[in-house]
Amino acid sequence: MKTEISRRSFLKGSAVAAAAAAAAGSLPVLADEEVAAPAAEGKLSFEIPPEPVADADIAETYEADIIVIGAGVSGLCCACAASEAGADVILFAAGTKHVERGGSNHGIDTKTQADFGISYKKEDLAKRIKQEYVANGYTIDQRKWSKWINNNTESMNWLIDKMESYGAHVTLELPYADKDGLFDFTAASHNFTFVPEEGKEYIFHTTLGGSVTFGAAFGQGLVNDMYEYEILQNGGRIDYNTRALYLIREDNNTGRVSAVVAENAEGKYVKYVGRKAIVMATGDFSGNHEMMQKYCPQAMDILAPERETPNYDAGFQFGGLFPGDGHKMGLWVGAAWQKTYPNAAMVDNLNGPYSNGISNVTTINLNQDGKRFMNEDTMCAYSAWALKQQKNMTCYYIFNAKYAEHYETWSTFGCTLGGDNGINGPAGVSSADKLADWERQAARNAETPAERLAGQYIKADTLQELFERWGDIDVEQAMKTMEEYNQYCKDGYDPEFMKSPEELVAIEEGPFFGYKYVLNSGNFLCVTGGLRTNEEMQVCDADDNPIEGLYNVGIMVGDMYGVCYNFCICGHNLSCTCNTFPYMLGRKLAAAE
């Protein structure tokens, strides 16, 4: 099966440079009662709307039932669901192609789980969901979480059916067993993989590692290939290289949002009129440091330098992604910001000898003062934030050769049931293979200067030698801490942080290994939330009143997460704001009169 890319005006493939030039262009000045006037002095720059484009300068006007802005998974999902249900849909995006990152989609009671003999009903999530509310200080919107729980099975099975119909395979990431029972979860995070057969044509064109595309980190590109193909087959239109500039809200910026003005790769202004709705799916705002300083200040010290020109084709781009185009456009027409403050960032720490899916390294963790600073038996997001509070955001993991035997299998992120989709092997690697890997990497780093040892394995015959090798940890205190910790392990009780006795493993006999890690922009994925959004995905004003005609989906949906995005319901964001919500919205808008 092969898509007809020439259908209507599918602008894919235009030069990135042209998009950048278009983004940098200036707008002619013209008073227009349908667009908000420039903000008063004292506003931050992102709060000040651009001057509207003169009607005479609008080169083209396109009209459809539904206009979707953004070609990430949420925008494409919404457009696919709406066009499948009979709506006339136009989707446009600033990049040259669809964008995605990751591939973990949490599913509840899906057909794939049934195939694996897994029983996972929505009532099984009761304790887990309550823990999420507690973890987020009860500041998040429980109505939206309830909507996800009650509709996820339908939306995920819809996606699974589609992917399988085009030859993709669906599998599940491994379950997680927490020694304290807090973070337990079943095998619920769905991945997609594809292995083409020679001589056959497929709709999938996203590839990684040759002819195979797979997994928890990369499988979502296949999903977007499918959505893109189906939108076109359903008669929809996709315009790439077209950046949204501002929304048009009628009645002097108090009525319905009816259109959006954009600039295409040729530098021409175009208007998209939505008869039923304008749906924004423009990604996060982490590429805008001014917005981050206001709404997510806790992550400022792990952001990469701000880019002068946004990369709208960015996939895995750590340290800052998109400039918040949709957030700004919403604010300019009277949308309110979400109530949860600050916005939750996605930060993780999957480094060093971690053993299980999305866990922290559970052996002893030391800071530069040579002291422990937390209960090490936790999840990767929580450990990242704890590490961020330490001097120079630096930690040291200490373990020995015998520690490799603590886990029969080391199952890192991306490993799956059945092993047919794993990034790191079927169900991880054996103890012997893990030790061999430590030995190999430590031997490679034997002559590495101390100042370059961050992120590297090292080996020594004694703990003293190990600490001295790094040169920036308090050796005397570290030795004292190790002595105390080893006694805790013998006693079976940790009086400092009460780590589970099952994870108290003494580090006494050599050879010894160490891994130093410094938290940095590579640990920052994106920022969640933004505009105030109700459970129907309507963008709301400061009085919680929906702004007629305006919706948003995906990562920009407000009040979904607070404090931090913790990954404890693995694949939740892709499953919820990028699948269930846009699927339901697309179908609802298509059915609307």
On whether the CB atoms of residues 486 and 494 are closer than 8 A, the answer is no
Residue 6: the pLDDT is 31
Cα–Cα distances in Å, from 454 out to 25, 212, 222, 396, 561?
Answer: 42, 32, 35, 9, 31
| Number of domains making up the chain | 1
Exposure string of 168-198, with b = 16+ CB inside 10 Å and e = fewer, is bbbbbbbbbebeeeebebbbbbbbbbbeeee
Residue 567 lies in a domain: no
- For residues 425 and 247, what is the distance between their CA atoms, to the nearest angstrom? 48
Residue 421: the pLDDT is 55
Cα–Cα distances in Å, from 446 out to 29, 240, 433, 441, 456?
Answer: 63, 49, 20, 9, 10
CATH number at residue 459: 3.90.700.10
- Give the mean pLDDT of 273-280: 98
Per-chain mean pLDDT for the chain: 90
**Number of residues assigned to the chain:** 593
Q: Which residue has the higher pLDDT, 419 or 266?
A: 266
- Give the mean pLDDT of 110-135: 93
Residue 433 lies in a domain: yes
pLDDT, tens digit, for every residue of 290-301?
999 999 999 999
% of residues, the chain, pLDDT over 70: 90
Residue 426: the pLDDT is 55
Residue 152 lies in a domain: no
pLDDT grade for 200, boundaries at 50, 70 and 90: confident
Of 19-33, 458-472, 476-490, the one with minimum mean pLDDT is 19-33
Residue 472 lies in a domain: yes
pLDDT, tens digit, for every residue of 33-76?
344 444 456 899 999 999 999 999 999 999 999 999 999 999 99
Residue 41: the pLDDT is 65
Asked whether residue 32 carries a pLDDT value surpassing 50, the answer given is: no
Long-range contacts made by residues 302-310, C-beta under 8 angstroms, separation at least 24? 302/347, 302/388, 302/393, 302/519, 302/520, 302/521, 302/523, 302/524, 303/521, 303/524, 304/521, 304/524, 309/20, 309/23, 309/24, 310/23, 310/94
Asked whether residue 209 carries a pLDDT value surpassing 60, the answer given is: no
Residue 398 lies in a domain: yes
Look at residue 263 and give its three-state secondary structure: strand
Residue 40: the pLDDT is 52
Residue 28: the pLDDT is 32
Complete DSSP assignment for 39-100? PPTT--GGGSPPPPPPGGGEEEEEEEEEEEE--SHHHHHHHHHHHHTT--EEEE-SSSS---
Residue 230 lies in a domain: no
pLDDT, tens digit, for every residue of 524-561?
999 999 999 999 999 999 999 999 999 999 999 999 99
Q: Which residue has the higher pLDDT, 22 or 443?
A: 443
On whether the CB atoms of residues 28 and 54 are closer than 8 A, the answer is yes
% of residues, the chain, pLDDT over 90: 79
Its domain, for residue 413, covers: 350-518
Residue 191 lies in a domain: no
Residue 401 lies in a domain: yes
What is the longest distance spanned by two Cα atoms in the chain?
80
On whether the CB atoms of residues 259 and 266 are closer than 8 A, the answer is no
**Token pair listed for 252:** 């002097």
In degrees and rounded to multiples of 5, residue 529 shows phi and psi of 80, -170
Look at residue 414 and give its three-state secondary structure: coil
Q: Which residues contact 87 (CB under 8 A, 6 or more apart)?
A: 64, 65, 66, 276, 586, 589, 590
- Give the mean pLDDT of 576-593: 97
